[in-house]
Amino acid sequence: MAAKQYHIGFGADDIAGIDIAFLSGDPERATRIAEQYLTLEKPLSTVRALNSYIGVTPGGRRIVSATSGMGAPSLSIVVNELAQAGIRHIIRIGTCGSIQPHVLSGSVVISRAALTRQGAADDIAPREYPAAANPFWTMALVEAAQKRGADWHVGITASVDTFYEGQERTGSSYKPLLLRERVGAIGEYQHLRILNFEMESGTLFKMASAYGLAAACICAVIAARVEAEAPSHEAKVKAEAEAIRIAIGAVDGINPLYLGESYRW
């Protein structure tokens, strides 16, 4: 019998036959996905508040809905252990703040790559190593978003380690004064056509490529940074639901040929 992984609390025997996982930073989101959007098959674990479940999509595919925790270090542990348990495909369903005027609060961003400013990623691969999403899953997310008529965007994400300083928040931070290299980050990234800030995708993409996995990311835009620093609860409810439905649509709609060895770049 395969051992249960130390942090996530389950192992290969518990998810036999399943190789796709949804990964959410918020444990409550992982629970909502399993209980409200999938047909819940069984809970797996709540160890360390890393909630995880097996659910079935409307198309009949069994998947894991799991929690990564906040930030790249926690995600790196969970992704490593998911891979040891047999997961080969990971779709991150997260939240983000947009930095481009046309990317509105309440929309969704599908990341095709990430500018990665994360210490955890540096332990996985050199800084020059590309942080790119799997192209097949990225297109599956785009196609599912199109079918839903969602307000969607695809592009590059800035994946950073901190919510306040790293995303140039000064009005809502306890310490509004930033290091010199963090001042002007939003303007610089806008010039580089980066769409949004979040805190996990860069490390996820590097891990997936280095490990031979397939990963993608879709995020609900809960703050339009050209308007305000604070997240909008109304936008979160709307966009999170849309992102979840798009991810499920991608799983049920992806070409089965892309789920085999072809994901190994």
CA distances in angstroms from 143 to 49, 101, 146, 218, listed in the order given: 33, 24, 5, 13
CA 116 to chain centre: 14
With residue 148 as reference, give the H or E element that holds it: helix 135-148
Catalytic residue among 89, 112, 153, 225: 225
Distance CA 32, CA 209 (A): 29
Catalytic residue among 29, 92, 169, 182: 169
Q: Please, what are the domains in the chain?
A: 12-256 (3.40.50.1580)
Catalytic residue among 29, 81, 88, 200: 81
- What is the residue-level pLDDT of the chain in tens, covering all 265 positions? 789 999 999 999 999 999 999 999 999 999 999 999 999 999 999 999 999 999 999 999 999 999 999 999 999 999 999 999 999 999 999 999 999 999 999 999 999 999 999 999 999 999 999 999 999 999 999 999 999 999 999 999 999 999 999 999 999 999 999 999 999 999 999 999 999 999 999 999 999 999 999 999 999 999 999 999 999 999 999 999 999 999 999 999 999 888 875 445 4
143 included as an active-site residue: no
Catalytic residue among 7, 61, 62, 148: 7
- Non-local (6+) Cβ contacts of 70 within 8 A are 25, 199
**Burial class of residue 76 in the structure, from the number of CB atoms within 10 Å of its CB (0-12 exposed, 13-18 middle, 19+ buried):** buried
169 included as an active-site residue: yes
225 included as an active-site residue: yes
